[in-house]
């Protein structure tokens, strides 16, 4: 699913109005009408007190239309104009007049001098104060209103985006954002919904299709995409009945050290479950027995040293794909081995954990990393690789530039894992907090390597790998719970994640 920028949303709005030869207020009427339907379906005329807070831009206009429908249908509504600015936009004014024409209870105008209204936990609050147009810090009294809404314990429904959330920067000290119970966003989700500093405000949300011009939406390329089941189905290649193991590639996982053999065991097993025809693990001698005992399906190769860490990386396996890093450590001898190894590589591979740390500490090695290799850092590793950042948006910009410069793919692991290549961002749609557990990254490395070995393009392998890893965890928590989930459980549910691609979607849960 495409994620449009603010400029693209405004453009879509303009083009839709032009094409339909309708004044733009009609689009606002449509948006407000859909908001009303959503609310009405749930309240069924119930006389709960509804407080609609409207700004004076188009987001406020949407709120005004919703308020009018509520009034016309005899709901118990009080409407407020949060008059944060002198520039009331024309469509807002029109929607405001239309509301005033149907009721004697005109909206209450709130300004800096006003006493803010009491909000009780029984109220329903509609937050239509700021939409995607927020471009500077609101005045203190407006922030106080946001805080009062948040402190009220009322059910809060945000229109389009929680008020106070920016489209292009993370919250800073002193910022306040409305924390809604639910957000109804128009046409497509917005980038901040998925970033660490702002995603916690998006506990539940849905998209309202307000009929923006489908042609414009379809033909406009976006810098950001959301990757879910639909996108993965398009990349998936099904197997025919007479397939044999030689057709699905040989994965080689390099890593492990004394005390950290589990990481390479998990990665190797995950590569098998991801569908790699064969898997070999290249480990220090100390690890051979452990690996062979843990995983009879996986072959082992080792170096010529009797050490606890890898001192050499020189293998016979003719691998279709290599994943390096899990449990490897950063012993100087291993660093030398990695240097030698990288210089000999031509094909894209998966680079994780200590292999990332080694490259970060020896940036000259980047030159030897094959193009389209997939780096899978968590935030700590990413910082070592690319340096520090100001906020979530800055991190994305710096990471995509770094990936572009070195022609690599970077998978930034997090609650919403984001993959970047060629200045585009791909946000993963699956996964849950259960994945914040030891070994989960090693499993991901194995899955991506296994997909790469099967002949998927590195971008497909990265996006599918991240998706399946998350989806397997989503299915696994039905059995283990979020707290109980372990990395090994994710591996056990990988098969189910593949099967789920073609399963009938579940009924959405009621908010
Ligand atoms: N386009 C679409 O597809 C559709 C969009 N729709 C709706 O429109 C919403 C976007 O509307 P919007 O552009 O009018 O912006 P909104 O968020 O209402 O802010 C209003 C204005 O406030 C100003 N301002 C900013 N920060 C400020 C501050 N701190 N303190 C004081 N003032 C501040 C700033 O104007 P400025 O003063 O910078 O000129 C800004 O323009 C969108 O979220 C959706 O709900 C739907 O109707 C249907 C189709
Ligand atoms: K809002």
pLDDT tens figures, 130-156: 999 999 999 999 999 999 999 999 999
For the cut 80, the answer to whether the pLDDT of residue 246 exceeds it is no
Residue 119: per-residue pLDDT:
97
The mean pLDDT of 50-61, rounded to a whole number, is 98
Q: From start to end of 169-296, where are the E strands?
A: 182-186, 205-208, 224-227, 250-254, 278-283
User: What percent of the chain is predicted at pLDDT more than 90?
Assistant: 94
Q: Is 163 annotated as a binding residue?
A: yes
Token pair, residue 40, equals: 């009405």
Q: Work out the mean pLDDT of the chain and round it to a whole number.
A: 96
Task: Give the closest residue to 73 by CA, choosing from 30, 93, 102, 51.
Answer: 102
pLDDT grade, residue 24 (50/70/90)? confident
Instruction: Please tell me the residue having the least CA distance from ligand 1 atom 9.
Output: 59
The domains found in the chain, sorted by start residue, are 2-218 (3.40.50.10260), 231-500 (3.40.1190.20)
Strands 224-227 and 2-3: what pairing? antiparallel
pLDDT in tens, 81-106: 999 999 999 999 999 999 999 999 99
| Coil, helix or strand at residue 25 | helix
For the cut 80, the answer to whether the pLDDT of residue 508 exceeds it is no
Q: Where is average pLDDT lowest: 13-22, 118-127, 374-383?
A: 13-22
Ligand 1 atom having least distance to the Cα of 161: 43
Query: Cβ(495) to ligand 1 under 6 A?
Result: no
Query: Cβ(84) to ligand 1 under 6 A?
Result: yes
Q: pTM score > 0.90 for this model?
A: yes
Contact call for residues 225 and 426 (beta carbons, < 8 A): yes
Residue 243: per-residue pLDDT:
73
pLDDT in tens, 447-470: 999 999 999 999 999 999 999 999
Residue 507: per-residue pLDDT:
66
DSSP bridge partners of 430: none
Residue 247: per-residue pLDDT:
81
Query: Cβ(130) to ligand 1 under 6 A?
Result: yes
Query: Cβ(10) to ligand 1 under 6 A?
Result: yes
Tell me the best of 134, 141, 142, 190 to mutate to test the pocket of ligand 1, counting ligand atoms within 8 Å of each CB and taking the most: 134
Q: What is the DSSP letter of 131?
A: -
- The ipTM estimated for the assembled molecules is 0.97
Cα(467) to centroid(ligand 1), Å: 34
CA-based torsion, 131, 9, 412, 280: positive or negative:
positive
For the cut 60, the answer to whether the pLDDT of residue 510 exceeds it is no
Residue 330: per-residue pLDDT:
96
Residue 249: per-residue pLDDT:
95
Cα(55) to centroid(ligand 1), Å: 8
Residue 367: per-residue pLDDT:
96
pLDDT in tens, 183-230: 999 999 999 999 999 999 999 999 999 999 999 999 999 999 999 999
Cα(1) to centroid(ligand 2), Å: 22
pLDDT in tens, 287-328: 999 999 999 999 999 999 988 999 999 999 999 999 999 999
Query: Cβ(126) to ligand 1 under 6 A?
Result: no
pLDDT in tens, 231-243: 999 999 987 777 7
């Amino acid at each position: 699913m495409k994620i449009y920028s603010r400029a693209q949303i405004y453009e879509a709005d303009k083009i839709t109005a032009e094409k339909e030869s309708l004044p733009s207020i009609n689009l606002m009427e449509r948006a407000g009408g859909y908001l009303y339907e959503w609310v009405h379906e749930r309240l069924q005329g119930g006389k709960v007190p509804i407080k609609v807070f409207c700004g004076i831009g188009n987001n406020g206009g949407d709120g005004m239309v919703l308020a009018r429908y509520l009034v016309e249908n005899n709901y118990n509504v009080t409407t407020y104009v949060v008059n944060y600015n002198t520039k009331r936009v024309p469509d807002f004014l029109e929607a405001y007049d239309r509301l005033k024409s149907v009721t004697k209870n005109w909206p209450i105008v709130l300004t800096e001098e006003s006493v803010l209204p009491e909000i009780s936990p029984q109220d329903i609050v509609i937050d239509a104060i700021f939409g995607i147009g927020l471009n500077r810090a609101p005045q203190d009294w407006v922030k106080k209103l946001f805080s009062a809404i948040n402190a009220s314990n009322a059910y809060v429904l945000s229109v389009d985006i929680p008020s106070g959330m920016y489209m292009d920067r993370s919250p800073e000290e002193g910022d306040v954002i409305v924390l809604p119970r639910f957000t109804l966003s128009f046409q497509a989700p917005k980038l901040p919904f998925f970033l660490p500093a702002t995603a916690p405000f998006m506990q539940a949300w849905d998209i309202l299709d307000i009929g923006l011009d489908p042609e414009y939406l379809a033909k406009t390329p976006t810098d950001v995409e959301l990757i879910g089941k639909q996108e993965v189905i398009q990349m998936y290649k099904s197997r025919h009945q007479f397939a044999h193991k030689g057709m699905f590639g040989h994965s080689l996982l390099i890593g492990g050290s004394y005390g950290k053999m589990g990481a390479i065991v998990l990665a190797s097993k995950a590569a098998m479950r991801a569908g790699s025809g064969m898997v070999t693990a290249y480990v220090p001698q100390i690890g051979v027995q452990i690996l062979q005992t843990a995983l009879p399906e996986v072959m082992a190769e080792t170096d010529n040293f009797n050490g606890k860490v890898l001192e050499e990386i020189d293998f016979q396996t003719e691998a279709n794909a290599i994943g390096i890093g899990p449990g490897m450590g950063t012993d100087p001898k291993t660093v030398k081995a990695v240097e030698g190894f990288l210089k000999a590589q031509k094909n894209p591979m998966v680079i994780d954990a200590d292999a990332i740390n080694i490259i970060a500490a020896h940036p000259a090695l980047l030159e030897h990393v094959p193009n389209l290799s997939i780096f899978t850092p968590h935030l700590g590793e990413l910082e070592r690789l690319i340096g520090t950042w100001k906020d979530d948006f800055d991190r994305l910009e710096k990471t995509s530039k770094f990936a572009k410069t070195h022609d690599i793919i970077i998978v930034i692991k997090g609650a919403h894992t984001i993959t970047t290549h060629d200045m585009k961002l791909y946000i993963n749609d699956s996964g849950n907090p259960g994945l914040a557990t030891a070994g989960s990254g090693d499993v991901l490395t194995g899955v991506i390597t296994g997909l790469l070995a099967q002949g998927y393009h590195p971008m497909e392998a990265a996006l599918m790998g991240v998706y399946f890893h998350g989806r397997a965890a989503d299915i696994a928590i039905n059995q283990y719970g979020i707290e109980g989930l372990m990395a090994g459980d994710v591996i056990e549910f990988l098969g189910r994640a593949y099967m789920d691609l073609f399963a009938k979607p579940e009924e959405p849960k009621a908010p």
